[in-house]
Structure formats: C-alpha cells, structure tokens
Structure 1
Amino acid sequence: MRWQPVGRLLVRFLPPASVGAITLLGFAPYSFWPAVLLSLALLFGFIDVASTPRRAAAVAWAWGFGYFAANIHWIFISLHTYGGMPALFAILAIVGLAAFLALYPAIAAFAARKLAGESRAVLLFAVLPALWLLIEWVRGWLFTGFPWAAVGYSQIPDGPLAGFAPVLGVYGVSGLVALLAGGAIWLLGRRFDLRDKLVVSAAVLLCGAGYGLKQVVWTEPSGKPMKVALLQGAIPQNQKWGIDDLIYNLRTYYHLVKDAKADLIVLPETAFPIFLHEVPKDYLEAVLSYAIAQNAALIAGAPRQDGKSQRYYNGAVLLTDPARPANYKAHLVPFGEYIPIRPVFGWVYDNILQMPLVDFSSGGAVQKPLPVRDQRIAANICYEDVFGEELLPNARQATILLNLSNLAWFDGSVALAQHGQISQARALETGRPMLRATNSGTTALITPDGQYAARLPERVEGTLYATVQGMQGETPYMRWGNSAALILAVLGLVVGLIVRWRSRRG
C-alpha cells in the first residue's frame, strides 16, 4: 500500500517526461524537426487539459526534465570520463541540472494558465507561445545563462521557420514553433469550422513566409575569396595534459601545419595545451616558417597568460602577426572555466574533479577582429557561440566568424553535432560565413544561409580545405538583436489579456 503513491507519481511523471525526451530526435545529428513540434504540441495539450495551473506546472516540469535530460546527457562524459567525478555523482549532477532547467517550462505553464483563465484561444495562440519565447530568453542569461537546446534550433537550417532566424533570432524562431504547436492542439478533435480554417491558413502562411525569407540574401560579398585549411587533430581529452601527451599534441599539429596549403591555417581551441609563452621557441618558429613561406596567416587556440596581472585567457591568437593580436573568450563556462563563489564550490575542484585550467578571465564583450588579408575575422571560443546576441558587437565589425572548439570533453556524443547546429544558427542570424576548427568535430565551413559547405568526419585526424567568401552588411537581427522577438512576445501577452478581459466583460 505504501508504494501506491510512488506508483501514481510515476504514472503521472513518465508520459510527459518521455514526450520531452523524444525531442532529442529533433536536433542534430538526427535533425527530424517535426519531433520537437510534436513534443511541444503534446506538452501544450497536457497544459490545456490540466485541472489547475499547479497541475499544468507539474506536467510541464516532468516534460522539461525529460527534455533536458535527453539533450544534455553527454555532460556525463566530461564529468566522469575526463573530469574524474565518480559515476554516481556525475549522474546526480545531470539529474540535478535537468531538474533545475525543467523549472523554466514549469513557470511558463503556470503563468500561462493563470493569465489565460478558461480561454483556450488565449492560452494556445497568445500567452503560451509568448511566455515560451520569454522563458527561453531568460534561460539564456539568468545565472550566466544556459541557452543550449532552445527549441528554435530544431528548425536550423532546413525547417520551414529557419528563414526567420536572420530577422528574429533563434528565440523568435522558438516562439513561432510554439505558436504552431498551439495551433496543432487547437485543431485536435474539432469540427473544422471557419475559425479552424483560418488557423490552418495562418499556419500555411507562416511557413510560407519562412520559406520566402530563406530566399532573401541579407548581406553582400566583401573582399576576395580566401582558401582556408582547418586542422582537426582528433586528440582524446585524456591525451592532452601529460608530458608525453604534450609532445604528441605538438607533433600532431606540426605535421598538419607543415602539410597545409592555404591563405589561412587554423588550429582549434587549446591546440597548444600549455600557455603560449611556454611553447618551445624552436617549435613555434618551425611551425611559423611553414606558414610564412607560403604567405599564409596562422591562427591557433592557446591559453595565454598576462605577464603583469598573471591572469590567463582562452584565446585565438594570430601567430603570424608580430603583434600577436588575439580574440579572447568573453563568456566563460561556470565550473568548467572558472569557479563561481570559490569559498562555496572550490572544494569540488580540490577534492572531486581533476580539471586543469579552471580559472580563466573574460576577454571582454567587444574585441577587434583579427585582420587576415582583406578580411576581418571575429573569433569565438567553444561554448560562447551559444549566446547569439553577445556575438553581435564583434560580428558587425567582421566579415567572417570563426569558432575554435575542443569538444573532446564530450567525444562520441551528440554534443558535437548539436554544437555545429548552433553555429549554423549564428551564421544565419548574422549573414556571415562561420569557420569551425575543432579538435574532434564538427570542423566545417558554414555558409551565410546556415548550410554546411564542407565538413570533416568527427573524431578523425585531418585537414578541411575550403574557400570562404567574407560578407558585409547587417541582417535585421544584427540591428535589433533579441529586441524584436521580445517586443512581439510582449505584444502577444497584451493582446491575449485584452481578449480575455473583453470576453469576461461580454
């Protein structure tokens, strides 16, 4: 008898959690975007039929738990396999993070039911899509932000709503996906009267507008095309930090640079897993000699320490320029690259985790692009390209975007493909080509329309050759950032509340 409450709880929890988990199929590498639309529509159906706002929040929390647990499960690899955290603790950490992130859809569901009252139309077409957009935006900056797996990414690059990314950004696309999901639930089981026909017509027009926007070329060529060589060392994360590992790292990239023939040669994040000033001078001179001999620029990812302040930065350094200009990572990963509230969490690193270089400093929000021939390259490091609006100040100055990553922390998981999809969204939003040089994948050239022009297989050592054309000009998203999407969300809430108020008076 005493197990009956637990059984009832599981019966209520498992269906929405399972529906949330199927969204994994909607993102890269599977990219079956209807899975996300279907899952979100079912969630909205659960919220619609819930007896109270609290029940709606509970079912949305369960859905969110399944959603995030499925889409960020790969964090286990970095915590346990490479971070040294015991497996049980690593699992508990992921469960805790998924449980926390699930609060965001729970809050949206509770607020939507409160604001919509008994009006299904207000709930499904106004407050729920608007609040979904707003809550994803809040998730992108609150507590430093964790915007991974926003539902809008499922549309990138080939979904019917992808064309809205250069206008409204990925959060705007998320709101439109939510609007379609609300329309799908509205139509379920209805007699298909005039209002229903209008809903279908609006959905068709919305998708048609998305397709039409995909045909718009927002930016124009700048300078001459440039041949690039993107190097992928495919070095496992557990072979980067020992003395023998260091020799293997340096030797791998020495041979890759030696054989590369291009205008620009790019090495990934922490290709040199030691401070730049610690790289043997004769080694660095030998590597540079091969680049200089063919008049090639060489950009490498390396930690760099300031001699005066002793602070160190995760940087993309233009080594062939005597001044050694660099773009430093601005948005650092809490617990991965710095220790927040050290008196509270410092013991975790001292006693449980075994992660090197966890006290980086931020390079600042606005930095000058790296000049290469007649192009201007704005580099970002690993995770920070998840924060689309934060890249805009540098993207406006640049003709090419560059991401340097070391995703060997998550080798063999979907994280590599998901991160590539995020870079595709940044290319779409800015109308700029995106170069990706990664240690293990996805190393690629992404065109301004968000498509892969070329890419290397994951976890394979090699060099990707491609020709990139720089672009100038601004997309609407570059001018407005997230402001346009947020204004539309607020207008949706206002219209929904006015409709509800008028219906109650009537």
Structure 2
Amino acid sequence: MIKLLIAVLSGALLTTAFAPLGWWFVAFISPAILMMLWQQANRRQAIWIGYAFGLGFFSTGVSWVYNSIHEFGHAPVPFAVALTVLFSLTLAVFPAFVGWVQAPRQSTSQSNQSRAVFARYVLIFPAIWVLSEWVRGWLLTGFPWLQLGYSQLDTFFSTIAPVAGVLSGSWVIVVLIGFGFWVWSSTGKQRVMGVFGLLVLPIILLSLARVEWTDAVDKTLDVRLIQGNIAQENKWQSSWLVPTIDLYVGLTEENLDADLVVWPEVALPGRYSLFEQSVLTPLQAKLTQSNTDLMFGVLRKNEDGLHNALVRLNSDTEMYLKRHLVPFGEYIPFRNSLTWLKDMVELPSSDLSAGKVANTLSVGEFKVASSICYEDAYGSEVADMLPEANFLVNVSNDAWFGDSLAPHQHLEISRMRALETGRPLLRATSTGISAIVDHRGQIQSTSPQFELHVLKGSITPRTGATPYVIWQDKLIVILMLISLGAGLLLRRR
C-alpha cells in the first residue's frame, strides 16, 4: 500500500514538469521514483504500481477536463466529476502496461544477470514508455497530451526533436534514467559502459543544438494576432454577435499596415454564409487595398457537412477545413448509443464533419501550415503540410479550459510543433495565451490571459525540411520496436 501511495504522489509530481511550472528536472525524478518502485516488483505488482502512477499523473495533469465539462458545458457536478475520473482511470492503463512489459518474467542466473539488467533498463523500459505514448496519441482518435518530451522544450534535451519529434525527447529522458539504473545495478565493465552512455548522449544533444535544419528567407512578415477575449459563456449568445463582429473588424481596420492579421478559432460565431455579404465583402475590399491578409476562424457548410474552418481573405479567398475533430466536443462518436449525452452537456458545435485535405494557405508569396485548436497536438498531421509551408498558424479557443493548466500546456504543445518543423509559429487564441514563437520553439512574445489584446510582432518564414518532417513518427517508432525486440530477446537468453 505504501508503494502505491508513493506511486500516486510521484505521478502527481510529474505534472509540475510541464507548463505552467515547467520544472523540467522533475521529468527525470518522477519516472526514476517509479522505476525504483518497480525494481523488486513482480508483474502483478508492477501493473498496479504503474496504474497508481498514471492515476496520480493524469488526474492532476488533465484535471482541466472538469472545467470544460462543468463550467462551460454546464453538466451537473456529479456527471462532470464522473467523466473526469473515468478519463483519468482510462489513461492510467498506459503506465500500467509499461510496468507489465518491463517487469522481469523470471529470475535470471548470475551469468545472465548483467545482460538482463542492461536489457531491462536501457532497451525495454525506454522503448515501451515511448511506444505507450505513441499508442496513446492515436488509439480511439488519440490523446497525445503530456508526452514526456514536452517538458524539455527549454533545455538542450529537446534538440533531438527536429530529428525524431517529441517522442524522441521522451526517449532521451527515460533512457538517461535507464543508464543511471544500469550504473547503479552493475559493476566493473558494465558500470563503465553505463557511465559512458550517461556522458555521450548529452554531448550528442549539445552538438545538435548548433545545427540549423532550415533556412531563413530574406524577408520578414509584420503580423498582428487579435485576442478578442470573448468569454465562452458569451460566445454563442445572440446579444454578443454584433459586438463581437465590431470588435474584430474594428481592430483589423486599425492594423491594416500589417502583412498578416490573425483572428482565433471561430472568431465569427456562426456560419460563413451569415457574414459573407454584410461583413466580409466590405472588409475584403479594405484588405485588398492595403494588401493585408486576414486569417480567421468560422463555421463553413459544404456538401460534406458543417466544418470548423480557417479562412484566408485578401483579394481572393482560401480555406482550410479542420481534419482532426475533438470527440464529444465537435462530434459524438457512437452517436446512436450516446444521444443522451447532448442532454447532459451543452455542445454548441457537436455535429461537425472532418476535412479531408491537408492543404496549405497562401500569405503573399509564402505558404502556411494551418491547425485549428487541438490539431496541433498531432505532430505528424502538422508535418503533412511541410516542407511546402514556410510558417505555422494555429488558431484556438482555449476559453473552454478557463483558468486552468490547459492553456499553458496547449501553448507548450504548439511550441514543440515549431521546433519539430523548424518553422516560426503564430498562435491566435480567444482568451489567451496567444503567442509568436520562433523556429526553435522559443517564445518571442505572448498576450496576457483574459484580456483584450493585439499581439504585434514579426516573423521570418523559412524553407527546407527537418528530418522529422521527412520521417515524422516513423523513425522513432521503428527504433523503439527494434530496441524493445532486442531487449526482450536479450532478457530471454
């Protein structure tokens, strides 16, 4: 029971490694505590210890789910609590699975002990951790939130991300922990080899920090990100429609000296056709005259259904349709069985259709890789629009999360996409945190939360492709499968 309690607490502690606290070193301490608890545990014990760790981690790290369901979905408190707890209980299965795989199946002879220790700590444990994060990122549409690599964005441990993505950052953390346990558990030549691994990997990562994977063009873009600060409870109220339009149009007209103005996700709360003649056509004339591009979120109806869209407006019009919808937020899976859900939670846009094309949008001579809200959590989907795209734009409505951990975590996720692709990022949100991020994932400027704000700045578009853009997640997954297979074979010999 004591071990389970320690596991829960160490899992909860891991949340502090991520934004907003960003205590990156905890990402090494917390999994190391977990491995200490696993050391003498049998398979059954390892499963429960891993499950307790996951329960502590996810119940704190994604506690903002309650805000979305109750505060803004207006679900009854018991129902919101039950869904949040169920979500955490489900996610905790992944660390439990890691515990089951890494646990020794049988006692090993003294002659095989050193091989088994190396296999467990350096090959199996890091590989199955990363593979479990990868599976969590796509199973049942996926939830790639709080992958360990995100915690290292402001350290040199993240320099591997342009090579193999955020999952490779997770591997770096866990394999260094594994090397540490190998050193601790070994003697003689094995210990020397473990120390060698602990020293060489950071040196390689430091050398990667000097690599410029992409090239800057010889032109900058003057940009404006308009954060309207329309509260979620007001967004869909008819009394707020005209004030919302006046706010965004007025602030745009004040910033027509910029090359690009960006509004948040569904900044215009309704269908495109509602605003086309009365709002967008007059605004388009002004944009054309000043040669300013405007990107804004709106709902768009076509023959496939209603879409969450990002429109680029100047003398012509282009549109990107959101491809990866949020389950239970933008559509209801298993709709025939879950029709009662709409009676419990207010879901103003729960009947949306997914876009089918990863098309870029044009801003002057440059191409933009667009993502809407939660889509930027899927690195490979953003990379689908590269190397054609010269910079990234994410529009989001983080008002759903309220004053919780989620807006900070979401910005952290967006920053990783900039680092992986070697592209600057513009992030426009309804209530914050809007941001301008450089091609290394470093924040250039941000907006204050819950305030009306126009974020002004400039970016330099870039060309070329990082290794991650070419391989996406395939490289790290293949390497982890090889590591896992080699470790399991070595442990059985």
TM over 0.5: yes
Which of 318, 342, 350 aligns to 1:358? It is 350
- What amino acid is aligned across from residue 239 of structure 1 in structure 2? N
Cα offset, 1:12, TM superposition:
4.5
**Counterpart of 1:313?**
307
- Which has the larger displacement, 59-68 or 200-209? 200-209
The answer on whether the counterparts of 2:284 and 2:315 sit within 8 Å (CA) in structure 1 is no
Q: Comparing 487-496 with 124-133, which one deviates more in the overlay?
A: 487-496
In structure 1, how many angstroms separate the alpha carbons of the residues matched to 2:226 and 2:23?
A: 30
Residue 16 (structure 1) shift: 0.6
User: What whole-Å deviation, never above 9, does each CA across 1:200-224 have from its counterpart, x for those lacking one?
Assistant: 3312221221122122100112362
CA distance in 2, matches of 1:353, 1:321: 41
Residue identity in the other structure for 1:354 = E
1:339 is matched by which residue type in structure 2?
Answer: I
Contact 1:169 1:477 survives alignment (8 Å): yes
Specify the alignment match of 1:259 in structure 2: 254
CA distance in 2, matches of 1:214, 1:116: 42
1:98-497 aligned at under 5 Å gives the runs 98-114=88-104, 118=108, 119-156=116-153, 158-188=154-184, 193-222=188-217, 224-260=219-255, 261-279=257-275, 281-306=277-302, 308-309=303-304, 311-322=305-316, 324-349=317-342, 351-367=343-359, 369-497=360-488
Distance 1:63 1:389 in 2: 28
Within the alignment, does 1:29 sit opposite 2:20 as a pair? Answer: yes
Q: Deviations over 1:165-204 (max 9, x none)?
A: 011111121122111122333445x687553343233122
| Alignment partners' CA distance in 1, 2:445 and 2:280 | 29
- C-alpha deviation, 1:467, in angstroms: 1.1
Structure 1 contact 60–106 (Cα < 8 Å) conserved? yes
User: 1:248 offset after TM fit, Å?
Assistant: 2.5
The question of whether the paired residues in 1 share the 8 Å contact of 2:3 and 2:37 is answered with: no
Q: 1:108 to 1:45 in 2, by over 3 A?
A: same
Q: Deviations over 1:237-264 (max 9, x none)?
A: 0010111122222122122212213011
Q: Is the 8 A contact 1:223 1:374 kept in 2?
A: no
Q: Deviations over 1:368-387 (max 9, x none)?
A: x1111111011110001101
Q: Quote the RMSD (CA, aligned, Å).
A: 1.8
Paired with 1:211 and 1:62, the residues of 2 have a C-alpha distance of: 35
Query: Identity over aligned residues, as a percent?
Result: 34
Deviations 1:299-348 (A, max 9, x none): 11111111x45x111111012243x2111110111111101010111211
Aligned to 2:112: none
> Hey, what does 1:61 align to over in structure 2?
51
Q: Determine helix, strand or coil for the equivalent of 2:338.
A: helix
Cα distance between partner residues in 1 of 2:433 and 2:469:
25
What is the aligned partner in structure 2 of residue 88 from structure 1? 78
1:458 & 1:222 partners in 2: Cα distance?
32
C-alpha separation in 2, matches of 1:427 and 1:245: 34
Structure 1 residues 5-50: Cα deviation after superposition (integer angstroms, max 9, x where no partner): xxx5xx4532211100111110112111111111011111112221
TM value normalised by structure 2 = 0.94
Letter in 1 for 2:159: G
2:137 and 2:400 mapped to 1: Cα distance?
22
Code of the aligned partner of 1:131? I
The 1-side partners of 2:106 and 2:208 are apart by: 32
* The 10-residue stretch of structure 1 (190-199 or 277-286) with the greater mean CA deviation from structure 2: 190-199
**1:162–1:225 distance in 2 versus 1, CA, 3 Å:** same
SS of the residue aligned with 1:342?
coil
Distance 1:364 1:115 in 2: 45
State TM-score, norm by structure 1: 0.92
- 2:11 maps to 1:20: yes
Aligned to 1:396, the other structure's residue is in SS state: coil
**What is aligned with 1:5?**
none
Read off the aligned partner of 1:199 and give its amino acid letter: G
Q: Is 2:130–2:171's contact at 8 Å kept on the other side of the alignment? A: yes
Per the alignment, in what secondary structure is the counterpart of residue 273 of structure 1?
Answer: coil
Q: Tell me the SS of whatever aligns to 2:310.
A: strand
In structure 2, how many angstroms separate the alpha carbons of the residues matched to 1:97 and 1:321?
A: 46
Change (3 A) 1:174 1:293: same
Q: Measure the CA separation in 2 of the matches of 1:170 and 1:191.
A: 30
Residue aligning to 1:40: 31
Question: How far has the Cα of 1:108 moved from its partner?
Answer: 1.6
Residue 365 (structure 1) shift: 4.4
Tell me how far apart the structure 2 counterparts of residues 412 and 330 of structure 1 sit (CA, whole Å): 27
- CA deviations 1:282-315 (Å, max 9, x no partner) are 3334433443332101111111111x45x11111
* Counterpart Cα distance in 2 of 1:445 and 1:400: 11
Partner SS for 2:339: helix
CA distance in 2, matches of 1:223, 1:257: 26
Find the counterpart in structure 2 of residue 4 from structure 1.
Answer: none
Structure 2: unaligned runs, 5 residues or longer:
109-115
**8 Å CA contact 1:403, 1:434 repeated in 2:** yes
The range that moved more, 406-415 or 197-206, is: 197-206
Runs of 4+ in 1 over 6 A off after TM superposition: none
Tell me if the contact between 1:130 and 1:489 (Cα under 8 Å) persists in the aligned partners: yes
The amino acid across from 2:53 in the alignment is: W
User: Which consecutive unaligned segments of at least 5 residues does structure 1 have?
Assistant: 1-7
Instruction: Measure the CA separation in 1 of the matches of 2:107 and 2:259.
Output: 62
Range with greater deviation from structure 2 (392-401 or 489-498): 489-498
Aligned-pair distance for 1:117? 5.9
Query: In 2, are the aligned partners of 1:115 and 1:497 still within 8 Å (CA)?
Result: no
